Amino acid sequence: MRLAINDSINLRRHRNACEHYREKWNIENALYQCYCLRDTPPLTLEEQERCFASKRGCWRDRKARRYATT
């Protein structure tokens, strides 16, 4: 699978989050900024919590597979 955003040493991985989830800490006017290497960053707190609960892969993939099989 090709990633939409290249990984960078400036983007930090979260140890309990999805393999595509990254955070940038050195920004102005915010504590941190969320990135997704697949270019689908979490937009709400609920989506961010799903990213943290999906350490083995993107929760959006599982959701898409669930709807495809029904």
pLDDT digits (tens, 9 = 90+) for 2-24: 677 788 888 898 888 998 899 98
Please tell me the distance from the alpha carbon of residue 16 to that of residue 6, in angstroms, as a whole number: 20
Of residues 60 and 63, more confidence is placed in 60
Closest CA to 5 of 18, 17, 20: 20
Q: What is the largest CA-CA distance in the chain?
A: 45
The CB density around residue 42, as the number of other CB atoms within 10 Å, is 19
Q: Is the pLDDT of residue 69 over 70?
A: no
pLDDT at position 9 is 82
pLDDT digits (tens, 9 = 90+) for 25-62: 888 888 888 888 888 889 999 999 999 988 888 888 87
Indicate the pTM of the whole model.
0.72
